[in-house]
Amino acid sequence: EFPEFRVRRHSIPPFIPLERLARQFLPQQPREFLGILFQHLNAFVGRRHQLEEFQEQFSEWLRGAPSSNSLCNLLRFRYRIPGKSEI
């Protein structure tokens, strides 16, 4: 029999549905809970890394710094086309 698992203090970003996942999976499927939580965290870190790579690789074309939401799934930026005159 499993001891009762609970989520206590954590640093999981608030946009990850931690409470819902805990209610759904933690009581009977703790490994499933950890697997799904890992997927959410990995997706967030991957998107954030892509934003950093985008800024590094295309910095000469970007006008100002790109902005994103906390999930890093919405990106706003301005760019210029090399060789075109600026307006």
63 bridge partner residues: 78
Q: What are phi and psi of 78, to 5 degrees?
A: -115, 145
Kindly state the average pLDDT of the residues 32-55. Answer: 94
pLDDT averaged over the chain? 88
Q: Has residue 55 got a pLDDT over 60? A: yes
Whether 48 contacts 66, CB under 8 Å = no
Does pTM top 0.85 for this prediction?
Answer: no
Structural domain count of the chain: 1
Q: How far apart are CA 5 and CA 28, in angstroms?
A: 9
Q: Please, are residues 76 and 62 in contact by the beta-carbon 8 Å criterion?
A: no
Task: Give CA 28 to chain center in angstroms.
Answer: 27
What's the domain range around 36?
Answer: 1-86
Asked if pLDDT for residue 6 goes beyond 90, the answer is no
What average pLDDT does range 29-41 have in this prediction? Answer: 95
- 16: tokens are 């990850």
